[in-house]
Every structure is written in structure tokens, then in C-alpha cells.
Amino acid sequence: MEKLQKNLSYHFSDIALLEMALTHRSVSKNNNERLEFLGDSVLGSIISEELFVRHPNIDEGQLSRLRSHLVRGNTLANLAKKLNISENLNLGQGELKSGGFRRESILADAFEAILGAIFLDSDYLTVKRITLMLFDGLLNDTRPEDSLKDFKTQLQELLQKKGYSLPKYELLQTKGKDHNAIFYVSCLVDELKINVEKSAKSIKRAEQACAQSILEEIKTL
């Protein structure tokens, strides 16, 4: 885990916190879910404050959508990949066999759990410094107009402009129960023969991830 700490520009005083942050619930009841809960709140607070300072002239609704744009699962998973978090994940045999170390929801959860672990190991200002370092490029590229339309809306408008039928979303399955549930959703665009599947902790987030993926694929056509 030395390489991961170097990538984070942070070395833990209590390495057990980092180990816990990397332990998936498929391994043990002592897993990263509580740290993820904490990290999610810390991340939301830091990004909210930074957007508030950077964009003094936009309203609460736009700020909220910009924050959602920055902290969505896909973004966190991509940051996790850059940090090579997957190399250090502690997964149960079932998750290992199914490629859990590549699953966006698992990577995003681990990323948030690590932020929670850093917060407990140090203080708010330290985790804020690290978070802003990791999000620097994303924050610099963020524009207020990004908050105006979500991915589902963007996809729908693009398809309508091209004269295509609306995308078809379908809930494929749900794994887990209550707050641990993971929803698997597909989205089909008939005319383009594009069908993607994504998973997230809510149906809405999974649908947004599908729409985002299709938008990115359309750009390459």
C-alpha cells in the first residue's frame, strides 16, 4: 500500500484505517461501508465549499447540480483508477471471480472510504487539501453551464435532434438489501444499436451512468 499512499500524497499514521477503507463487504462484516458513509459526507462538504467560492454568481440549484456532476460514481471510479486503488482492494472470492476490482461502484465506494479514513487519521484541513489536489483538473474544467442539463436530458435531446426514438431504460436486477442494494440498469438506443449496462446505489444514478456512457460513445461515431 506504499504506492497508493504515495499517489495520495499522504502516509497514514494508523495503517489499519487504510486497510479497512480497502476492504469490501464481501470479505467481512468489518468492511469499508462506515468509512464510505463518512467519506461521502466529507467529500460533499469540501466540493460544496469549493464550488461556492469559485462560482459566486450561480444559484443553489446550479451549485447542487455541479456538485452532483463532480461527485457522481463514474467520476470517483475514474479517480480511483488513476490512484490504482484496484491493486489494493480486499475482495471476497465471489467478487474477485466476477471482476469486482473493475466495478465502478466498488471503486467509487473505496475512494470515498479512503477520504473518510484520511479524515479520521488526520483532520478536515488535511483531507480537504488532498481532495482538492485530486479534483483540481475537474474543478478547473467545470463550467456553470454544465449544471443545466443532466446526462439523461442531454441524451434525450441529442436523439430527438437526430430524429431517433427515445432511449429505453430497464432495471435488470437488484443485488443486496436496503441501503446495501446495488441496482443494475441497461439503456438501449435502437437506431444506433447501442446497449450499455451500469450499476449504482440507486436506479437514478445507474440510469445517469448509462446515459453518460452512451453520450461518450456517440461522440466517437
List the catalytic residues.
40, 112
- Torsions phi, psi of 194, nearest 5? -110, 125
Give the Cα separation of 67 and 167 in Å (integer): 25
How far is residue 32 from each of residues 49, 69, 108, 211, measured CA to CA in Å? 25, 24, 12, 28
Residues 5 and 17: beta-carbon distance below 8 Å: no
- Return the number of other C-beta atoms located less than 10 Å from residue 85's C-beta: 24
- Torsions phi, psi of 172, nearest 5? -85, -45
Give the Cα separation of 214 and 220 in Å (integer): 10
Q: Does residue 194 come out as left (phi exceeding 0), alpha (psi in the -120 to 50 range) or beta? A: beta
